[in-house]
Amino acid sequence: MARRRKPPRAGAVNELPPLRILGQIAALQGVYYAAALVLMLFTTLVAGTRFGLDLVFGWADLRGDTTQGWLMGFVWLCCAGVVIIALVALVGRSKLVLDFALTLHFVHLVVVTLYTGFVPRNVAWWLTMAVSSAVVVSGGTYGCQWRELRPISFGGNGGGGGSGRNNTGGSAAEGGAETAAQQNGGAPSGDQGDEEMGFSRGRGRGRGRDGTGEYEMVGLKGDGNR
């Protein structure tokens, strides 16, 4: 009897098309190295030291017994902050952050090994990459969750919708009153409403709202005729 395959984890990478995954990985890797190049160049210009690709693709300068080595470690952590922003913008799914973060640092390990010809031997390099991975995972997860939980706007505002409903309701009520008046044989004009309020238009005689009596409107005389 064939065993049923376990369904994939919700939000897993295998739910995305392979080309899209490769594109996102390449984009994140490009952002990572671009940020590293800019920050490394800036720090070398400020410190007055020599700039080279070894600072980005090497591991020998990242050591814990020199000030320059500590500065390089801080720069890589700043690059991790840039990657967090790129994760939120490009990926946007909190369940994929762990996969992309680990893939990013694994690719960097492969690139460094191929560039130098040796696996990194400095403990400071491994500690920096471990802290960078933790920062990317925690920050990227928080940022993607914040993006996922943002309220969705469908356009328009509440005030406009409310006024539209009020106008619609008012129009329907007026139309219903007019239809009822026509069915009762009365004219849908304002004369009937005026008579119910106690006066009529164009006539001197009207009926009270309770229907029990009539009254007559008498014009006021001028002060000279009294």
**Single-letter residue type at 25:** I
Residue 175 lies in a domain: no
Q: Domain range holding 68?
A: 16-148
Using the predicted structure, report yes or no on whether residue 188 has a pLDDT greater than 50: no
Using the predicted structure, report yes or no on whether residue 174 has a pLDDT greater than 70: no
Residue 126 lies in a domain: yes
CA 209 vs. chain centroid, Å, equals 58
The rounded mean pLDDT for the chain is 75
Using the predicted structure, report yes or no on whether residue 135 has a pLDDT greater than 80: yes
Q: Which residues pair with 215 in a beta bridge?
A: 206
Domains in the chain: how many in total? 1
Residue 70 lies in a domain: yes
The predicted model gives 110-114 an average pLDDT of 94
How far, in Å, CA of 223 to CA of 220, rounded? 9
How far, in Å, CA of 104 to CA of 26, rounded? 9
What does each C-alpha distance from 72 to 41, 60, 124, 221 come to in angstroms? Answer: 11, 11, 10, 102
- Residue 160 pLDDT class (50, 70, 90 cuts): very low
**Are 131 and 64 spatial neighbours (Cβ–Cβ below 8 Å)?**
no
Q: Which two tokens stand for residue 155?
A: 């356009």
Residue 218 lies in a domain: no
How far, in Å, CA of 49 to CA of 185, rounded? 99
